[in-house]
Chain A
Amino acid sequence: MSGPRRVHDMGGLDAGPVCQDGHAQEPWEKRMDAIRMLCGKRGLLRTDEMRRNIEDLGPGVYDRLSYYERWCAAVTNVLLQKNVVTVDELGRKMTEVEQRWTKARKS
């Protein structure tokens, strides 16, 4: 008898080879790391909350996202849950950043 197994709890399952190539972090990944650290220092986020929110991405999304993409999704969800940001604020900011980025690429 056993029960449901969650996507991240994969000890003993065949996961294929581990890629051991080192790679440099992208600037956004370093920023993501800094944001997560600052949220911790402000008492907004603990490691276990990060883990829960990453696990809760669920099968598919959990598998598809890269390491720091998972962090980004988890930190975003925690900040929404704790009323630090609203969905509306986030949406408007994302549009603003995207427009700034598009403009910069054209010039």
Chain B
Amino acid sequence: MDEGAEVVNAQFGIGDTVRVRRAYPPGHVRAPYFTRGKTGVVDAIAGAYRNPEELAYGRYEGKALPLYRVLFRQSDLWPDYDGPDGDTTIVDVYENWLEAAEGGQG
């Protein structure tokens, strides 16, 4: 099991509003489908790890990518969510899948 490397040059900080890129490439993708195009807030930085989307193809080299814990409002993730407004969920997302976003919801 890989230990996370030290995070250097993280593009986002805790509290930043971020959006998961709305992209649907083929192959091994680590950003869950239900998060694509959705906006959340960085809750924590979990460390830096080599990109699993490269490791999956036997490319073991490459620099470590920051991995973020992103907090989403459940009502933003699921159009028919009928639980309390304050419900949230946290998803681990690698930096290559995130882009800066405004405070609003995507």
Contacts and interface: CB of A to CB of B under 8 A. Distances in A.
Interface band, chain A: 10 to 19
Contacts of A6: 29, 33
A52 B28 CA distance: 5
Contact of B58 (A2, A3, A49): A49
5 tightest A-B CB contacts, nearest first? A3-B24, A52-B56, A48-B55, A48-B56, A52-B28
B52 A9 contact: no
Contacts of A52: 27-28, 56-57
Interface of A: 1-6, 9, 11-12, 46-49, 51-52, 55, 81-82
Interface band, chain B: 20 to 34
A10 to B, nearest CB: 8
B32 A11 contact: yes
Interface of B: 22-24, 26-29, 32-34, 36-37, 52-53, 55-58, 60, 77-78
Q: From DSSP, what is the main secondary structure of chain A's interface residues?
A: loop
Given A9-B29, A9-B33, A48-B52, A2 B57 contact: no
B61 to A, nearest CB: 13
B56 A1 contact: no
Contacts of A55: 28
Contacts of A2: 22, 24, 33, 36-37
